[in-house]
Structures are given as structure tokens and as C-alpha cells.
A and B are shown apart, each in its own frame.
Chain A
Amino acid sequence: MKSRSIKVDYLARVEGEGGIRIKIHDKSVSEVEFNIFEPPRFFEAFLRGRHFAEAPDITARICGICPIAYQMSSIHAMESACGVSVTGPLRELRRLIYCGEWIESHALHIYMLHAPDFLGYQDVLQMAVDHGDAVKKALKLKKSGNDIVNLVGGREIHPINVRVGGFYRLPTKQELQGLVDNLKWSRDAAIETAKLTATFTFPEFERDYEFVSLRHEGEYPFNEGKLVSNRGLDIPISEYENHFAEEHVAYSNALHSVHRVRGAYVVGPLARFNHNFDKLTPTAQQVAREVGLNPPVKNPFKSIVVRSVETIYACEEALRIIQDYEPPEKPAIDVQPRPGVGFGCTEAPRGLLYHRYRISDKGLIVDAKIVPPTSQNQKSMEQDLREFVPSRLNLSQEQLTWQCEQAIRNYDPCISCATHFVRLDIQ
């Protein structure tokens, strides 16, 4: 009997600190751990006693890559606790700033974190030596997303303009118009990106996942909708905790989230695309079909193409919002605290981000619960490796290790978020 192990102490090209450890015994995988050694930061604990209006600024600091997701989930949760809902142009501006984060984050992941795996480079700078034009385009595409966040949010990382009830300052029509030319360019660049990434070689690998995402009858989901899955789940977000639970495992500082009955599930681009294909813009649908991407997509390596298609959507949705924009009278509606519980669930670039807060009559947070997308995907990532490795034992150690890393990067894991969160150590 032969034993082998694959070990990655410090997984590269992901956000945060994690590793992989896989033990192979006699051609079968005996152990898989995706462990997160990123130190815990205790957000849920120190949110207690803070004012409800502080939640978007504080929770943004959980993640520098997707601060908008944290701000959006927290403000929607607070507004639900206070019994108000934001509609009209303010709601649209929230979708707009989310478009910006998707474009920025997806472009970062597609070109700088994931494409080097498919093309055999250590990183994007090495890739730039042979693919200089593509990398320059990628940077410009990424920047156009950041430009939206910058204008609507004030800055790219930890934006300052988002508040419970709306915004502090409204962008003018003219300011938004200034984004249009670049966004049109970016839409075309995103179409090229989808066509390019579809030519990559994908490992033959499909699994019968339970995909979970938001579903909204009127739009591709960002901030609102019901929670649905391909196993019949169809619930309002307030019932999330009745169906999903978090487990604490010894090797990880991140909690693993599971469906209470069915176990592992997947959130993120594949889940959204599979459940909401009909809500994509006609161009995004058409490009998806042209490059052979039809729902349901079950090969996680193809997430890079799905991200490209979602980037097309985000550019077009941003353009639509800008064209239709008429500034409302006030930048925010008045929100008065009342004792109660509120729920917020929005689609971060890498998947569902759930927030739940209880607040007091004075508007102070009594308790908080936050479930980031990577916690939810962690179990599926490990199961992927368990199924992926056995048929590839003929590969060299270096190749197999690299492919295992790539399998994890399929999920665009954000380890900073999940700490509450993960290390890949394949033995």
C-alpha cells in the first residue's frame, strides 16, 4: 500500500490565509482539510453594543475585496429590523454600486487570480510578459468597476457613502454619465473575456451540487429575493437559519456552513447563473450560449466563464441604471430604530452573504450573526478535492498540487471573510 500526501501550506492567489492538506492512502483519499489559519477577528462579538447605523462601516472591514457586499447585507438587515424598505432611485443606486463591485472583483479573479492557472503562469505579471494586451485590458476592465464604486461609494475599498436608509450624498446625473463610455468599452471587453476564457482547457469534472442563490422575479439578484435551490428550497431569507447551520471543526478558524438535512451546498456564480439565467440581459444570454455555457453548469472549473458572463451583465445593468437615473429628493430615507430582528442576504461576487441582527429600542446591536460565502462553500471545496484527486494520481506531485489549488480557486475563496474561516495541506 502506498501513501502519498499533498500539502499546500499557504495557498496563493486567494484573499486571506489558508492551506490544503490531502492524505492519499492506497489510491483513495483518506483525508481532506481546507484549513483556514487566518486569525479570528471576532466581529460578531464586538458588534454588540454598537449603534445599528455603524454596522455598514464596521462590517465592511471584514473584507477589503467585497466591502460593498457587507455594507449591502448589513443595511438591508437593519432596514428590515426597523420596518422600512428603500425603493426607487436609491434602490437602483445600490444595485449600481454592487455592479461596480462585481466588475472589479470578477475581473480581479478572472485575470489576476484564476487565468494564470489555466495558462500555466505563476501570476498575472508573468502572464503579462506573453499576454500584455490582455492584461492591460483586464486592468482597465477592473478599473471601470472600481470607478463606479469610487463615485457612488467615495472610494474603492471600504466606501464611505453607504448608510442605513440610503446614501450621504447623491451622485449627479452628469457624474454618472461620465462613466458611460468606459462601461460600454468594458461590456465589450467582458464579452471578449467570456470568449477567451471559454477556450481554456477544463478538467472533466462535474458534480451534482445543491446550488443555493437568491432568486428575484424581476431581476438578476443582488440585494433582494428568495432563497432557492435545485433541491426544492424556496424560502424567504428570514428562514435561512431554519435550514442552514454552522459547524466548528478543529483545523479551521472558519465555521463550516451546511444544509441541516442535506449537508454541503454551493453558493456563487454557478448557483446564480443556473437559477437566474432567464434574468440575464439578452446579450449576456446570447454570449453564454455562443460559448457553450448552458444552465445548469456543474463543472466548477467553468466558473471563470460564468464570472465573465456575469461581468457582461453587470456592465449592461450599470449602463441601464445610469441611463434611467433621476436623482431622488433626498439621499436617504429616515430610519428610526425599534426593538427587533432584521435579516439581510445579498449576492457578494463569490456568493450569498447572510447577516442577522437583533437591535434594542435605543438602536444598539444586541447580537449579530454573519455567514460569509466562503464558509458556505468550504465543505463543497473539500468534497471536490476528495472526488477530484483519485482519478489524477498519475500526475506528478507538482502538477497535482497545482490542480488542487486551482480547484479551490474555482470558488474565489475569500478567507479573510470566512474567519470565522480556512489552510490546504494535501498529504
Chain B
Amino acid sequence: MKKPKKPKLAVWKFSSCDGCQLTLLDCEDELLAVAENIEIANFPEASRNIVKGPYDLSLVEGSITTPHDAERIHDVRRASKVLITIGACATAGGIQALRNFKDVREFTSIVYATPSYIATLNKSTAIADHVFVDFELRGCPISKHQLVEVLSAFLNGRKPVTPTYSVCVECKRRGTVCGLVVTGGPCLGPVTQAGCNALCPSYHRGCFGCFGPKETPNTSSLASYWQTKGVKNPDLLRLFRNFNAYAEPFRKESEAHEK
């Protein structure tokens, strides 16, 4: 019997640190198995060999920050049957979305001596602001297990199972003592989506929001609680203004503490 044709995978990069696509190469135990089931057709970080599209599955890393990329993402969408964004840059604009709160021309002159050489947009935005996205995988960086789950779900024609509840649930499940209650130290766990297995609390530090806002987060309630513990506005602002600063609930909360 003829073997069925392997689906074609493409990995695309926009503005990012490369860490999320590296997660695929960091699947040391799974990589060869993945390659048996999926044709890695376009993955420049790993291969010179570029197989032409269309692609059955595209993983998109990074945010849109240049006029050229704002056009390129439409080409990627057209070449992809299924498009999944991976990581905080692609799903929320990433750390580079901190520019969205400032005047980007001023930024350019801080970093580059001749700002006129640099083509950049005023805002760093998520991929879903530009094209239809089939599924968003959160994280800064994404979780290896969730990435394997996404690939496996895709191969089996089902929706990926990833939680939308908060980091707190993972903390309880692990039996980690709640730092927020015991020490009162700032922790974004109650408003942050699970996915890291509540890593930071297990290392004795508060969550700082790598996986972005959970479903229906009550950020203002959490902020008020911290205020009663003496956390000041500038600190609140910085807490919400991080890798997922431009995800709406976090953006609004940070803006509320801007004055």
C-alpha cells in the first residue's frame, strides 16, 4: 500500500527572539518522531531546503513591526491551510510592543545613529490583528508540551487541548504554597493563563505573566489587592507592562496606573 503523503509544515519568523521556533529543535526526544510524521518543508532556522507551498500547517513566530512584514503575513496566510501563531510576540505583540506606549521615532534615535535607515511601524502588533489565525499558542516562550500537543492535534484533525484557566489552578495542583497570600508579594498568577505548570511560584517568585491574560481576568481586583499591600502605581504599571503588555486586559490595567 502506498504511504499517505506527509503533511507539509512551514515555520515563519517575524519580529521575535527565535526562542519559540527553537522550542521545536529543543524537542530532543520528539524531534525525529515529529519528522517521521510531518514534512518540515520550510524552516530556515533548521534547513537550507525550502519546499514550495502551499503548506498544510504554518507556525508563525513574532509580531508585525515593519511595513514589509505587514504585507508578508498576507502571503504566509495565503500559502497556509492552517495557521497557528506561537508565542507572546505573535499572539500579543511581545516585549517590543512596549514601543506602542511611546513615540517610536524617539526610540529609533536612541538605538540607531542614523534613524532614516530604519523602516519600522509605530506599533508592534499580534498576527491576528492582520490575518485570520486558526489557533493561538501562548507563552514567552511557548511550552514544549503544548507545542507537541498542537502538532499532534493537527495530525489527528482535532482541536488542541490547552487550558484557558489561571496559573493558580496549576499552583494548587502542584501543592505550591501561595506566595500572594503568605508573603503578599506581587504575583500575576490569578490573571495569567496556565501553561508553564506554575513555574515561578515553585521557584519562590511571583508569576510575571509569560502566558498572557487568562479568560475573563479580573485585573483591577488584583491590582487593588496589591495596593492595600503597599504596591505603588509605577510598580503596578511595570507588572502589567511586560511580554504581553499589549494584550487588552493587561494593557488597560497598566494604563489605569499610568498617572
- Expressed in whole angstroms, the minimum distance between the Cβ of B127 and any Cβ of chain A is 14
Instruction: Let me know if A122 and B49 touch, CB within 8 A.
Output: yes
B199's contact among A15, A139, A155, by CB below 8 Å, is which?
A155
**From residue 82 to 139 of chain A, which have CB atoms closer than 8 A to chain B?**
108, 112-113, 116, 122-126, 128, 135-136, 139
Q: Is residue B75 within 8 Å, beta carbon to beta carbon, of the partner chain?
A: no
A50 touching B13 in the complex, CB below 8 Å, given contacts A154-B203, A158-B140: no
Cross-interface CB contact of A45 among B22, B65, B99, cutoff 8 Å: B99
Q: Which residue of B lies closest to A108 (CB)?
A: B25
CB distance from B130 to the nearest CB of A (A): 14
Check B48–A139 contact: CB distance below 8 A. Answer: no
A160 touches B112 (CB 8 A): no
Interface hits, A14-51 → B, CB 8 Å:
14-17, 38-46, 48, 50-51
Given A61-B95, A128-B32, A139-B28, CB of A122 within 8 Å of CB of B19: no
CA distance A122 to B117 in the complex (A): 34
Q: A64 to B141, Cβ gap below 8 A?
A: yes
Is the CB of A156 closer than 8 A to any CB of chain B? yes
Expressed in whole angstroms, the Cα–Cα distance for A331 and B203 within the complex equals 11
> Does any Cβ of B come within 8 Å of A320's Cβ?
no
On whether A64 and B20 interact (CB within 8 A), knowing A46-B102, A143-B28, A168-B203, the answer reads yes
Interface window among B38-46, B163-171, B214-222, B247-255 = B38-46
Cβ B203 vs Cβ A161 within 8 A: yes
How far is A157 from B32 in the complex, measured between Cα atoms in Å? 21
A92 to B16, CA, bound (A): 31
User: Which listed residue (A62, A158, A402) contacts B141, Cβ 8 A?
Assistant: A158
Bound form: Cα–Cα A58–B96 in Å: 10
Chain A residues contacting B113 (CB-CB under 8 Å) are 246-248, 255
A13 touches B46 (CB 8 A): yes
List residues 272-323 of chain A with CB under 8 A from any CB of chain B: none
Q: Which residues of B contact A112 (CB under 8 A)?
A: 25, 46
Stretch touching chain A among B52-60, B103-111, B148-156: B103-111
Cβ 8 A contact of A168, one of B25, B43, B205 = B205
Cα A405 to Cα B243 in complex, Å, equals 33
**Closest A residue, CB atoms, query B113:** A248
**Alpha-carbon distance A17/B68, docked complex (angstroms):** 13
Q: Considering only CB atoms, which chain A residue lies closest to B200 in the complex?
A: A160
Contact A157 B23 (CB under 8 A): yes
Interface members, chain A 140-195 (any B CB < 8 Å)? 140, 142-143, 146, 154-158, 160-161, 163, 168-169
B16, B46, B111, B242: most-surrounded residue (chain A CB, <10 A): B111
A-chain residues with CB within 8 Å of residue B71 when the two chains form the complex: none
Chain B residue numbers with a CB within 8 Å of A14 are 45
Q: Is A377 an interface residue (CB 8 A)?
A: no
Which single member of A58, A136, A248 contacts B112 (CB below 8 Å)? A248
A-chain residues with CB within 8 Å of residue B96 when the two chains form the complex: 41-42, 46
Interface residue B74 (Cβ < 8 Å from any Cβ of A): no
Per CB-CB distance, the 9 closest pairs between chain A and chain B, nearest first, are A64-B19, A123-B47, A122-B49, A45-B107, A46-B98, A143-B28, A139-B28, A157-B141, A45-B110
> Chain A residues in contact with chain B, CB under 8 A?
10-17, 38-46, 48, 50-51, 54, 57-58, 61-65, 67, 108, 112-113, 116, 122-126, 128, 135-136, 139-140, 142-143, 146, 154-158, 160-161, 163, 168-169, 246-250, 253, 255, 331, 367, 402, 405, 414, 416, 420
Given contacts A48-B110, A160-B203, A255-B113, 8 further A-B contacts (CB under 8 A): A10-B44, A12-B45, A13-B44, A43-B95, A67-B19, A108-B25, A160-B208, A248-B112
Pairs A–B under 8 Å by Cβ, sample size 5: A12-B44, A39-B15, A41-B65, A135-B32, A139-B32
